[in-house]
Chains A and B, each alone.
Chain A
Amino acid sequence: MRFLKDTAAIETAEVAVIIAVVVLVAYGAYQILGQKIAQVVQDVAGRI
């Protein structure tokens, strides 16, 4: 059980910043475009 045995608690500073930026951008885009994305998915699903 490699995952369970790993007790390391290190995080690269650059990675922490990159993850924060990616998550913020993704969440912001979802908040702004979420309704439209859901509508497009519904349209495509309806046509199929």
Chain B
Amino acid sequence: MLPSISPTQVILIFLLMAWLSACVIFDLRSRQVPALLTIPPLVLSAFWRLFQGGWSVVILVVALILISDFPWPKWRIPLACLATVLTLSIPDTSENIYALLVIFAAWGLWEIGATGGADAKLIISLVLLFGNGLLFIPIVLAGGIQGLFGLIARKKTIPYTVAITLGTAAWLWLVAVR
């Protein structure tokens, strides 16, 4: 089935995919994504989410960034849990509730060292941009398949930006054909 999308949406999707592809190229080359490709999109998508009225999601992101510098490491995750519960207690749409949970999960995985900071920032930026945490499901599915191939090939680490890009493309396709 072919999705029906406007020319403006085509341009936006093209820009989004160009940005994610640039991140994949850097990741494949050096397992690093420059801050220029992660911080400006994070800031822009946070402003976009604020403009859309999802301020509780933006508050959680700012709180988690501040908590990551908390001087006592063992208190960071409990503090992040508290911040997430407090933002979840604000009455909100189901999409924003999923978004809060995914943002906490992405940050938590980074905090325990399971994922890189660039990957976490990309996921958080995408969740802020689309305002829907369900985007995380195709991303982790793509990551799981990629991880399985990595295990078969006896590779310890995988470039997760590939899973983020493929998962986002799959999610956009699903949203467009729905």
Contact = CB atoms under 8 A, between A and B. Distances in A.
Interface string B139-162: 011011111101100011111110
B117 A8 contact: yes
Contacts, number: 122
Q: Which of A6, A14, A16 has the most CB of B within 10 A?
A: A16
A47 interface: no
A41 to B, nearest CB: 14
Contact of B137 (A4, A6, A9, A27): A27
Q: Which of B64, B145, B157 has the most CB of A within 10 A?
A: B157
Interface residues on B, range: 35 or more
Interface residues of A, number: 23
B51 to A, nearest CB: 22
B114 interface: yes
Given A3-B107, A9-B33, A16 B146 contact: yes
Given A2-B69, A23-B140, A27-B137, A11 B160 contact: yes
Contacts of B150: 13, 16
Interface string A1-43: 1111111111111111101110110010000000000000000
A19 B142 CA distance: 11
Contacts of B109: 15, 19
Interface of B: 23, 26-27, 31-35, 38-39, 42, 64-65, 68-69, 107, 109-110, 114-121, 136-137, 140-141, 143-148, 150-151, 155-161, 163
Interface of A: 1-17, 19-21, 23-24, 27
